[in-house]
Amino acid sequence: MSSGNVEIVRATYEAFNHKSREEMLEFLDPGIEWDESDLPARRPGVYHGHEGIISLLEENATLWENICIAIDDIAEGDDRVIAFIRAKGRGRNTGIDVELASAQVWTIRDGKAVHVRLYLDREEALQAAGLKV
> CATH fold of 3-128, please?
Nuclear Transport Factor 2; Chain: A, (3.10.450)
Amino acid at 58: E
| ω into 30 cis (within 30 of 0) | no
- pLDDT reported for residue 1: 41
- pLDDT reported for residue 43: 65
Buried b (16+ CB within 10 A) or exposed e, 42-51: eeeeebeebe
pLDDT, one tens digit per residue, over 116-125 is 999 999 999 9
CB atoms within 10 A of CB 106: 25
Q: What's the pTM? A: 0.91
Q: What is the pLDDT along the chain (133 residues), one digit of tens a residue?
A: 447 999 999 999 999 999 999 999 999 999 999 999 988 776 678 999 999 999 999 988 998 998 999 999 999 876 799 999 999 999 999 999 999 999 999 999 999 999 999 999 999 999 888 876 5
Structural domain boundaries in the chain: 3-128
